[in-house]
């Protein structure tokens, strides 16, 4: 991921320096395990632990000749260690190191992402609480439907990101496995005790069964949790973008001091942060397809997954981390316009009361079809700006013959639509 969309805390996890550092940690832990089994002399282990080192530059230099990153790494470490290096990588295959290290990198990234989701949840909960009773128009197909509250909008996202968090927790557990079981996973040249020792030391669990690699359904699940979270961020960003439209302007992402919206039009205040979130979410969601393709490999292993993972895993985790923190910034500084929300509620002439009016006519003895016909007839006139729904209902002979004027007041009561807000919050476990 390019620097523009990267935060150092998570991008550092995916540097070659960090990857090789984890590789070295795994190799040394494996040497410790083999020493316990009597396969490596204590004095050689001491030399390995004291002298083992690398430089990224030297690894890259050797790889340019041998075209194998693990061999280049081992050769570099061997240059530092000397003769005792013959015991490093004893009984192992490249994927033992690469896949176990990759699990650690995914786990490290996942924990940072969880921290971001937690901050996002706090911001959403604060908005849900602050605007719990603030009426705003609910829309379906982009058209006024019935009133809701802005707090309920945010509460909905709060619960969605709770699910995203749980999915990520589960996915982190799914990828927190290592394997040191040899060329096709049969422990033909290495003891299972080595795998157990290394995994325990590194905070992983030994894969119950593997081939030369850890199976990629685990990685696909991890990418799935990331992609779904990105989709939710896109959904929330799109909501804010719609609310910021000039014709709506019920909420607005922060416009900072000194910020400029257009090179040509000084008046512009564009939802650029939310648009950026939507754009990067597309990259993450597209990477999910590659993760699914990586599940399918030839027999016990090929490396068609490897090159793709060098792109999709860093890019997806770094990009999600970035858009999480961009959305946190938006939510913590969101500008909300309750007066505009009420103006928009009133803009349609009370059309949203149509269902209440329909149900009252049904209670009064009309069939649903006849009631629908009556209400739709005057509703279409409201669209033509011939009056409000209440005014036209009072003037309609058929409707007025069924409903008394005093009953109309109860039908056209905005608060009646919001009477169950407390119940919904309690049901959602937000109160």
What positions carry a catalytic annotation? 141, 262
Helices marked H in 203-303: 217-243, 272-293
Nearest partner of 180 among 147, 159, 202, judged by Cα: 202
**CA–CA distance, 399 with 250 (Å, rounded to integer):** 34
DSSP string, 38-92: TSS-HHHHHHHHHH----HHHHHHHHHHH--HHHHHHHHHHHHH-GGGGGTTTT-
Contact at 8 Å (CB) between 34 and 194? yes
Strands (E), 75-175: 135-140, 143-149
**CA–CA distance, 366 with 291 (Å, rounded to integer):** 57
Nearest partner of 426 among 132, 136, 120, judged by Cα: 132
Contact partners, residue 96, CB within 8 Å, separation at least 6: 26, 179, 180, 181, 182
Pairing mode of beta strands 205-206, 251-252? unpaired
Nearest partner of 10 among 124, 101, 107, 94, judged by Cα: 107
Pairing mode of beta strands 205-206, 177-178? parallel
Contact at 8 Å (CB) between 210 and 185? yes
209 exposure class (CB count in 10 Å sphere: 0-12, 13-18, 19+): exposed
Length reported for the chain: 431
**CA–CA distance, 141 with 136 (Å, rounded to integer):** 16
Strands (E), 110-204: 135-140, 143-149, 177-178
3-class SS shares of the chain: helix, strand, coil, % to 5: 70, 5, 25
């Amino acid at each position: 991921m390019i620097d523009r969309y990267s935060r150092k805390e998570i991008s550092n996890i995916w540097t070659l320096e960090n990857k090789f550092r984890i590789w070295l940690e795994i190799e040394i832990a494996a040497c410790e395990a083999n020493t316990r089994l009597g396969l490596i002399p204590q004095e050689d282990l001491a030399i390995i632990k004291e002298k083992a080192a690398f430089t990224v530059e030297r690894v890259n230099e050797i790889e340019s000749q041998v075209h194998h990153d693990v061999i280049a790494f081992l050769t570099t470490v061997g240059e530092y260690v000397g003769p005792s290096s013959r015991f490093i990588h004893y009984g192992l295959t490249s994927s033992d190191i690469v896949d176990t290290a990759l699990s650690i990198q995914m786990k490290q990234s996942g924990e940072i992402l969880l921290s971001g989701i937690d901050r996002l949840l706090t911001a959403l909960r604060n908005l849900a609480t602050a605007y719990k009773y603030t009426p705003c128009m609910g829309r379906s197909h982009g058209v006024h439907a019935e009133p809701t509250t802005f707090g309920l909008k945010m509460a909905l996202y709060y619960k969605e990101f709770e699910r995203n968090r749980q999915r990520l927790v589960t996915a982190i557990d799914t990828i927190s496995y290592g394997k040191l079981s040899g060329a096709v996973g049969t422990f033909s040249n290495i003891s299972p005790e080595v795998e157990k020792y290394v995994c325990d030391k590194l905070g992983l669990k030994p894969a119950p069964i593997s081939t030369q690699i850890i199976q990629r359904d685990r990685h696909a699940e991890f990418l799935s949790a990331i992609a779904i979270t990105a989709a939710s961020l896109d959904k929330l960003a799109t909501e804010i973008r719609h609310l910021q439209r000039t014709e709506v302007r019920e909420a607005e992402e922060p416009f900072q001091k000194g910020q400029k919206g257009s090179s040509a039009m000084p008046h512009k205040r564009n939802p650029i942060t939310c648009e950026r979130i939507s754009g990067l979410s597309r990259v993450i969601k597209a990477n999910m397809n590659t993760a699914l393709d990586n599940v399918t490999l030839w027999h016990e292993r090929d490396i068609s997954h490897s090159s793709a993972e060098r792109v999709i895993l860093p890019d997806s985790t770094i990009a999600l981390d970035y858009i999480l923190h961009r959305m946190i910034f938006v939510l913590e500084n969101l500008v909300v316009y309750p007066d505009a929300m009420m103006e928009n509620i009133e803009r349609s002439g009370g059309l949203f009361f149509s269902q209440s009016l329909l149900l009252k006519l049904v209670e009064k003895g009309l069939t649903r079809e006849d009631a629908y016909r009556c209400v739709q007839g005057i509703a279409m006139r409201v669209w033509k700006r011939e009056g409000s729904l209440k005014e036209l209902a009072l003037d309609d002979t058929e409707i007025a013959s069924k409903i008394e004027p005093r009953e109309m007041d109860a039908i056209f009561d905005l608060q009646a639509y919001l009477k169950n807000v407390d119940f919904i919050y309690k049901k959602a476990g937000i109160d």
